[in-house]
């Protein structure tokens, strides 16, 4: 194999797969250390993690109990949702996995429990009770309004930051296409979670992350 001399004690592929579950707890602990600081400006979103093609759901066995049917703006899928919170520097602040049928708003109070300032999300996070709960936690939830909702006064800087919400969509795109956190070849639920965590860690080590590089002048000029 390539580079065998540099790694003389490299285990076989079968042994490597068998050892993966042992890394779950250490990787989780390390991921916590890799989270960035809350800057007072945070963005939240979720993405689907499809575990098999929709045509093969009835034949799927690995995630038959844990995975669920869910729906995104792109359509129906079978699998899980990865919920993310990031800061304006493109650094991860928090994350969690849920079955695909869980409402995006459900894990938010726990997900952003340690954040403060302003939290920007899409229309899927609109909820009076959720906004009130987060406000009591010291966090202001800001979203765009639905078409059937009355217009509300909003600070200019908040409107400008809402336009910058694409930063988290860019991060999700990198997680899927560069870190490759989504594929349909998992052999066990534990290995699936380890794979996702490893992808998040790989992203956290990227030297250049999507960032807004905010300062007062840039924000006013946006």
* Sole residue written with tokens 């336009």: 163
How high is the pLDDT of residue 219? 47
Taking the chain (222 residues) in consecutive chunks of 10 residues, what is each chunk's mean pLDDT? Answer: 78 87 95 95 96 85 90 88 96 97 95 94 92 94 72 74 92 96 89 96 95 63 46
Residue 152, pLDDT score: 63
Record the tokens describing residue 200, joined without a space. 């998040």
CB 173 within 8 A of CB 167: no
Report CA dihedral (90, 85, 24, 53) to the nearest 10 degrees: -100
Note the pLDDT of residue 215.
62
What three-state secondary structure class fits 41? strand
């Amino acid at each position: 194999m390539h580079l065998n001399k540099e790694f003389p004690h490299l285990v076989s592929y079968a042994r490597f797969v068998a050892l993966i579950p042992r890394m779950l707890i250490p990787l989780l602990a390390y991921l916590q250390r890799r989270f960035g600081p809350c800057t007072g400006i945070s963005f939240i979103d979720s993405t689907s993690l499809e575990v098999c093609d929709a045509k093969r759901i009835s034949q799927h066995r690995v995630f038959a109990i844990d995975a669920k049917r869910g729906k995104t703006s792109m359509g129906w899928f079978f699998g899980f949702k990865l919920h993310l919170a990031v800061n304006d520097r493109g650094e991860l602040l928090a994350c969690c996995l849920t079955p695909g049928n869980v409402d995006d708003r459900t894990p938010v109070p726990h997900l952003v429990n340690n954040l403060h300032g302003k939290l920007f999300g899409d229309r899927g996070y609109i909820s009076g009770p959720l906004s009130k709960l987060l406000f009591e936690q010291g966090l202001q939830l800001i979203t765009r309004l639905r078409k059937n909702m009355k217009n509300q006064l909003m600070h200019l800087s908040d409107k400008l930051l809402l336009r910058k919400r694409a930063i988290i969509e860019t991060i999700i795109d990198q997680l899927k296409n560069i870190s490759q956190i989504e594929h349909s070849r998992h052999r066990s639920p534990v290995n699936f979670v380890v794979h996702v965590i490893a992808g998040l860690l790989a992203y956290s080590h990227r030297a250049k992350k999507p960032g807004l590089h905010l300062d007062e002048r840039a924000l006013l000029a946006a």
